[in-house]
């Protein structure tokens, strides 16, 4: 009976997996919307970061200003308190001697003025009328002045007389020119025990500008806008500005209070012109954040593109699995069916048990009960026991004969997570299977070769750009930026460290990219070489060469890498002649030394070249971890890894040794290994020495004549 098989054409496959234009447009719009939303969020975060940075900057400025303001306040407090104490002492002398003579008053006043040179005049006003002034010269017009008649501070003076506390007022224009501060201290004389009466007032005039200079206000004023005022605790309208502009209070100044016996002062300060609206380097900060945002968005777009490709690949995989001529099946770690194609269902006997969620064992039991496995008829239990063991053997596979006589090969492979993937291949026609296997092998080789070539081109570009970016300091744009920064010395010290930090970070990133790129380049080259070897197209450029010309350049090239890891590299060689492809033999030596360095943490790597009458031996010995005995026979197999787990410590494709052995054999030699776990390994490449060509009779006669 002729068996018809349903086929799937490439056209149908393409129709199933291709994205329609409107679908692609929707994906692009969705991707753009997501990128736009992320851009908005990142910009908002950047604004918040800038705001926090600005707040920190202003806080630092305020802290610095507060420290400076406190320092000036302490100077003022110290100076004013000293004056008040000395003024109180002078007032006490007068109170104890209400009938003090002009001479005694002048003596005491002179002592007071010697201590404070910025004092312009000291006056005593019994009954609030000035009767004594020192020095008299230049202050004659003060004599006879009735302090109560001065409307400027008569009200405050009345309060001072009532409370007995002194007062400071100013600045006022002095009759002799200039400005001054006025200090008044009521004097009470004792009438009898426990009773006092107002004697008068002691008045002192200070040179306003000299006082400010003494406490350092002009120096401080060069950096800050200042305000010093006397504050009335009961009547704000009576606040009196001693120095500065009251508008400073509208700029959120640093404010400190003075509490003198003569009144309450307030000291306010802001940087000249107020607090800055931005940090000095805020433009650079925005440029850096803009660069990071752009880089992040580009990365996101790229990742989303990869995800779209992955979805397409998954759809391709799903369609491809269904298009397989072989049965495909996958079970989870609990041996429940999670994926299969129609071909598997057909090969499984069309049993109703083949459905998502069904247990693997139940499907097999159903087929056994239905007699769909001829090989198991009459020995179902024994067959089932043998079959169940295969799930725990990684390399297990078994041929089965179906009820209709077809022969299939069943492959079941457990994966790391405990799940099982299976393949059911119809191998009835052995010849067809052989041809299919050869075609598959050729397709694999061609794919690897094409893939390697296609990857090397963009990778070369990537490495080139990485090398350029690593030397960003040599780029004209960077040099131009440095020149522009140098034109602003006041900002250079702040900008250059950050620019150098960015330069260092980019250099490190590019160095890491270059290392990874070179590693990837090596892996791609190994895959390409393996593809050439597998297809028989690997060419050899044979020539006569000395062993020193092979070994010395390799040792010079590999020594920095080996010594950087803290290992010693020793060389012992005998120089000899060899007919070989120099580059390929050096490739083998580089691979052997690289492997030795990779698997050796401490100790020595020894390179040794010896020879006998027929062969030359290139040996690389290490003191590394060694190779377990069960892996010695497999280390030269393609893609073989001693540690094949996903978290293995040592990377690589597993092609290096396979390629190296093929190169050695292409030269008529071989590559072998000896190893002791925990002590190290020795790889020895054996290459035949060139055989001497017999001399012709004429050449022999010439040689004989030369010897004679």
Give the domain ranges of the chain. Answer: 59-261, 324-428, 440-534, 541-688
Confidence of residue 692 (pLDDT cuts 50, 70, 90): low
Share of the chain above pLDDT 70, in %: 78
pLDDT of residue 342: 83
What does the pLDDT read at residue 404?
A: 67
Task: Provide the pLDDT for residue 13.
Answer: 37
| Model confidence band, residue 321 (pLDDT cutoffs 50, 70, 90) | confident
Q: Which fold has domain 324-428?
A: Beta-Lactamase (3.30.450)
Does the N-terminal peptide bond of residue 187 adopt cis geometry, omega within 30 degrees of 0?
no
Sign for the pseudo-dihedral over CA of 72, 76, 81, 82? positive
Among 214-223, 434-443, 643-652, name the one with the lowest average pLDDT.
643-652
164 preceded by cis ω (within 30°)? no
Alpha carbon dihedral 246, 247, 249, 250, in 10-degree steps, equals 160
204 contacts 119 by C-beta, under 8 angstroms: yes
Q: What is the pLDDT of residue 605?
A: 92
pLDDT of 207 over the 80 cut: yes
CA–CA separation, 132 and 204 (whole Å): 12
β-strand partners of 423: 328, 411
Unique residue bearing structure tokens 């063991």: 389
pLDDT on residue 608 = 92
Query: Comparing 324-428 with 541-688, is the CATH topology the same?
Result: no
CA 539 to chain centre: 45
Task: State mean pLDDT over 196-212.
Answer: 84
Query: Which CATH number does 541-688 carry?
Result: 3.30.565.10
Backbone angles phi, psi at 690, to 5 degrees: -65, 135
Statement: residue 53 has pLDDT above 60: yes
Say whether pLDDT at 689 is over 90: no
pLDDT at 533 over 70: no
pLDDT at residue 15 in the model: 38
What pLDDT is attached to residue 449? 59
pLDDT average, residue stretch 68-88:
81
Class of domain 59-261: alpha beta
Question: Which is more confident, 496 or 350?
Answer: 496
Angstrom distance (rounded) from CA 355 to CA 335:
13
CA atoms within 13 A on the CB side of 263: 26
pLDDT (0 to 100) of residue 609 = 93
In contact, 621 and 674? CB cutoff 8 Å = no
- 116-166: per-residue pLDDT in tens? 888 888 888 888 888 898 888 878 888 888 887 777 677 777 777 777 788
The pLDDT, as a whole number, for residue 620 is: 93
Q: Checking phi first, is residue 678 left (phi over 0); if not, alpha (psi -120 to 50) or beta?
A: left
Burial code (b: 16+ CB inside 10 Å, e: under 16) for 282-305 equals eebbbeebeeebeeeeeebeeebe
pLDDT score recorded for residue 10: 39
Q: With 0.75 as the threshold, say if the pTM is over it.
A: no
Specify the pLDDT at position 137.
Answer: 84
């Amino acid at each position: 009976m002729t068996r018809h098989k349903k086929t799937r054409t490439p056209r149908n496959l393409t129709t199933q997996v291709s994205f329609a234009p409107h679908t692609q447009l929707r994906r692009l719009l969705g991707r753009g919307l997501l990128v736009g939303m992320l851009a908005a969020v990142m910009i908002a975060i950047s604004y918040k970061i800038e705001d926090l940075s600005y707040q920190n900057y202003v806080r630092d400025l305020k802290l610095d200003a507060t420290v400076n303001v406190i320092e000036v306040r302490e100077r003022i407090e110290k100076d004013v308190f000293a004056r008040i104490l000395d003024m109180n002492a002078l007032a006490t002398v007068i109170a104890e001697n209400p009938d003090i003579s002009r001479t005694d008053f002048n003596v005491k006043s002179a002592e007071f003025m010697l201590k404070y040179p910025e004092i312009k005049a000291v006056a005593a006003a019994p009954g609030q009328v000035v009767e004594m002034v020192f020095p008299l010269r230049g202050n004659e017009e003060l004599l006879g002045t009735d302090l109560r008649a001065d409307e400027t501070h008569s009200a405050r003076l009345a309060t001072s007389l009532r409370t007995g506390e002194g007062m400071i007022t100013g600045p006022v224009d002095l009759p002799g020119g200039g400005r001054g501060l006025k200090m008044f201290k009521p004097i009470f004389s004792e009438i009898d025990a426990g009773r006092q009466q107002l004697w008068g007032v002691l008045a002192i005039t200070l040179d306003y500008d000299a006082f400010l200079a003494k406490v350092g206000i002009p120096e401080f004023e060069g950096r800050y806008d200042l305000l010093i005022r006397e504050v009335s605790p009961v009547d704000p309208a009576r606040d009196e500005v001693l120095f500065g502009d009251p508008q400073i209070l509208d700029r959120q100044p640093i404010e400190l209070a003075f509490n003198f016996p003569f009144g309450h002062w307030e000291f306010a300060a802001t940087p000249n012109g107020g607090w800055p609206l931005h940090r000095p380097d805020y433009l650079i900060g925005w440029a850096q954040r803009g660069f990071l945002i752009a880089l992040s968005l580009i990365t996101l777009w790229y990742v989303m593109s990869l995800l779209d490709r992955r979805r397409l690949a998954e759809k391709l995989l799903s369609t491809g699995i269904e298009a397989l001529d072989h049965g495909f099946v996958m079970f989870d770690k609990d041996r429940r069916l999670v994926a299969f194609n129609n071909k598997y269902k057909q090969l499984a006997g069309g049993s109703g048990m083949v459905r998502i969620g069904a247990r693997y064992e139940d499907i097999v039991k159903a087929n056994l009960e239905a007699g769909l496995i001829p090989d198991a008829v009459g020995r179902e239990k024994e067959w089932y026991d043998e079959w169940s063991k295969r799930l725990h053997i990684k390399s297990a596979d078994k041929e089965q004969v179906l009820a209709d006589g077809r022969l299939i090969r069943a492959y079941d492979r457990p994966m790391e997570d405990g799940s099982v993937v299976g393949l059911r291949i119809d191998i009835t026609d052995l010849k067809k299977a052989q041809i299919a296997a050869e075609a598959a092998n050729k397709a694999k080789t061609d794919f690897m070769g094409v893939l390697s070539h296609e990857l090397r081109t963009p990778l070369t570009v990537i490495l080139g750009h990485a090398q350029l970016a690593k030397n960003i300091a040599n780029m004209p744009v960077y040099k131009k930026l440095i020149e522009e920064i140098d034109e602003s010395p006041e900002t250079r010290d702040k900008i250059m460290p950050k620019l150098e930090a960015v330069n260092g970070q980019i250099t490190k990133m590019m160095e890491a990219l270059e290392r990874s790129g070179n590693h990837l380049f090596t892996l791609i080259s190994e895959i390409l070489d393996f593809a050439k070897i597998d297809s028989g197209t690997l060419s050899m450029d044979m020539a006569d060469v000395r062993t020193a010309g092979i070994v010395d350049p390799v040792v010079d090239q590999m020594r920095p890498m080996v010594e950087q890891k803290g290992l010693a590299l020793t060389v012992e060689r005998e120089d000899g002649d060899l007919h070989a492809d120099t580059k390929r033999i050096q490739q083998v030596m580089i691979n052997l030394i690289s492997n030795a360095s990779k698997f050796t943490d401490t100790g020595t790597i020894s390179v040794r070249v010896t020879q006998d009458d027929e062969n030359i031996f290139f040996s690389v010995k290490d003191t590394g971890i060694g190779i377990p005995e069960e892996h010695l026979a497999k280390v030269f197999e393609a893609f073989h890894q001693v540690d094949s787990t996903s978290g293995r410590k040592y990377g690589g494709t597993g092609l290096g040794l396979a390629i190296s052995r093929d190169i050695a054999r292409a030269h008529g030699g071989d590559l072998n290994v000896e190893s002791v776990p925990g002590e190290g390994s020795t790889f020895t490449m054996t290459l035949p020495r060139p055989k001497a060509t017999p001399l012709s009779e004429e050449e022999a006669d010439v040689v004989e004549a030369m010897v004679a």
